[in-house]
Amino acid sequence: MATPAKRASPLNPTGKKHRFGKAWMHEHVTDHWVNEARRLGYRSRAAFKLIEILERDHLLKPGMRVVDLGAAPGSWSQVLAQRLGGKGRVFAVDLLDFEPIRNVTALKADFASDEGLATVEAALDGVDVDLVVSDMAPNLSGIEPVDQARGVHLAELALEFAIGWLKPGGDFAVKMFQGEGFDAFKRQVEGHFAKAYVRKPKASRDRSREVFVVGKGLEAAARDAAG
């Protein structure tokens, strides 16, 4: 009796094995930063990206008020709260729920909507902040120009928020992907901050276009113009 042919899954119409999935899983479980995150109790390897940026650009001091945009699953907020040591305040914003973190105020909000922005601003209660960090990323469509445009838009929203809520002299760090719109965005940051840098942390995968744009020292004129 002949063996019946294996039916293809609707999600895999060719019926072929996905070597990419196996390769990704192997890379993930053997990744130095993944293993370090697990060892140190961080929720993701992204913690080490922020640690390097904070240390290299001297962005964090005790007593600071910090807003973490796109916070889930919470690794950046973990780092911020840990390093502030209870001497400061962290506001973590995301659409998704995540496990509570000591000394972190979690705000479930769509930052890209008027309602979500209002939620964040209400929590700040009119008090300026010292640092805004953003690890926001769009839901990927698989269409590169569309995804790039969405990523730039989120970065621009984060920058607009930072200009409006940072104290003069405050700092900003945002995730970006190199591509269309990146250079123009960097020029925007340069126009509002005393210094601007592009950082590629060691924990970012080499093949990734991911980088971080850092703005140091919000210009008083930029804050005044924002009202």
- Is 175 one of the catalytic residues? yes
One-character DSSP codes across 85-149:
TTSSEEEEEESS-----TTEEEEE--TTSHHHHHHHHHHHTT--EEEEEE---PPP-S-HHHHHH
Distances (CA, A) of 36 to 27, 117, 180, 194, 227: 14, 34, 33, 34, 43
Distances (CA, A) of 48 to 34, 53, 78, 149, 199: 10, 9, 11, 26, 13
Answer for the pair 213, 191: CB distance below 8 angstroms, yes or no: no
| Catalytic-role residue among 16, 167, 175, 216 | 175
Answer for the pair 18, 12: CB distance below 8 angstroms, yes or no: yes
Instruction: Find, among 53, 28, 55, 33, the residue nearest to 45 by Cα.
Output: 33
Distances (CA, A) of 219 to 24, 136, 163, 171, 190: 43, 24, 9, 10, 10
Q: How many beta carbons lie within 10 A of that of residue 153, not counting itself?
A: 15
Residues with a catalytic annotation lie at 175
